Structure 1
Amino acid sequence: MRNLALSAMLLGLMSLPAFAADPIAGMWKTQPDDGSYAYVKIGPCGANFCGVIARTFRASGEYKSPNIGKEIVIDMVPEGGGRYHGKVWRPSNDKIYVGKISLKGDQMALSGCILGGLFCKAQDWTRVR
């Protein structure tokens, strides 16, 4: 009986979604853009990943931006090997771009592109501990 309960528990843990421990999940600090930066909370949204602005900062310190709570990383699909594709929103010009993410440990390279990748802007984000 005890072995049966243990087996059932292990089987249940194995059936958790693969993204439950995905390295992209967590809090990330953006690179400054037009003098401000943010902490973005990334987590699962359906089968993909999304990021919401959690806190905002200027050189003078934290402030309450109207962008808090808005989605900045949109439907990032895991490709494997620390790579993701989806969309990103740039608050400073209120535009959405085709986005790509590449992770290496606690460093994230995020890019937003138009015209099939002909023109891109990139930022380096770091994980907040």
Structure 2
Amino acid sequence: MFRKMSLALAATLIMAGAACADPIEGSWKTQSGETATIGGGGSFSITLKTGKYAGKTIGSLKAAGDNKYAGSITDPANDKTYSGKATLSGTTLKMSGCVLGGLICKSQTWHKL
């Protein structure tokens, strides 16, 4: 009896841990059609999985509250790193990279796969 209850408790805890994953984690379709994966805990790493720069880590974000994230974004074409931010809305992630204190920004919209 004790063993069955222990197994049931362990299964519940494992499922609860999976359900607590941050919604930003997972695979995303970038605006240019590649696939990127966001994963981690506390600090989220962004890695391209398909395309010309597959395997390259292109950013790091931390939760800033209210489905917003802040950190750095790297352009894989020229390896320049910018101040980055992201806003999650359902299955859409709006990513931005800025220079000059946010004076000049470029943004993309990604969709969850």
- Tell me the TM-score range normalised by the shorter chain: 0.7 to 0.9
RMSD: 2.6
1:101 counterpart = 2:96:
no
2:55 to 51, 58, 69: 69
Q: 1:17: Cα distance to partner?
A: 9.6
1:53 counterpart = 2:48:
yes
What is the identity percentage for the equivalent residue pairs of Structure 1 and Structure 2? 38
**Residue equivalent to 2:112:** 127
Segments of 5+ residues of structure 1 without an aligned counterpart are 57-64
**Residue equivalent to 1:61:** none
Segments of 5+ residues of structure 2 without an aligned counterpart are none
Question: After TM superposition, where is structure 1 displaced by more than 2 Å over at least 4 residues in a row?
Answer: 1-13, 15-18
Q: What is the TM-score when the length of structure 2 is the normalising length? A: 0.81
Where do 1:35-46 residues align within 5 Å? 37-44=33-40
How many residues end up aligned between the 2 structures?
Answer: 112
Q: 1:10: Cα distance to partner?
A: 8.4
